[in-house]
Amino acid sequence: MDDIEYAVVFYLRFKINYGTSIEGTLNNFQEFERALIEPINSSKMLHNSNNVPGLQSKCVTIDLANTIGTAEYIFTNQKYLDDYLKSELLPNFNSFLHI
């Protein structure tokens, strides 16, 4: 019951920018989809659930028509989310040139 009572959600919404002409950016949805696989499984990017204390669940969605992505991370409590936000998450997220 405590997991539900104290749980918090971190919700990201981002615009996907294909073909920016910047080296390393993605040109279409298929390339973006393939790019999601590596970061989600990479402990360096802190998206591997086993390496993020308090992370209970995560989900990434993509709206193809509007080129908008979302990510929802559910943590057991606010302290775990705060610790996650103090980690390398945001600098690494900003390194993705396609979003």
Nearest Cα to Cα of residue 55 among 69, 66, 67, 40: 40
Q: Which of 15, 3, 1 is nearest to 77 (CA)?
A: 3
Residue 99 maps to a domain: no
Alpha carbon of residue 54 to chain centroid: 16
In this prediction, what percent of the chain has a pLDDT beyond 90?
A: 19
Is residue 67 in a domain? yes
SS3 sequence, 26-41? CCCHHHHHHHHHHHHH
How many domains in the chain?
A: 1
**Which residue type, as a one-letter code, is found at position 26?**
L
What residues have CB less than 8 Å from 78, skipping those under 6 apart?
A: 6, 8
Residue 19 lies in a domain: yes
The per-residue pLDDT for 20 is 74
Q: Above 80 in pLDDT, residue 24? A: no
Q: Structure pTM? A: 0.68
76-85: pLDDT as tens digits: 999 999 999 9
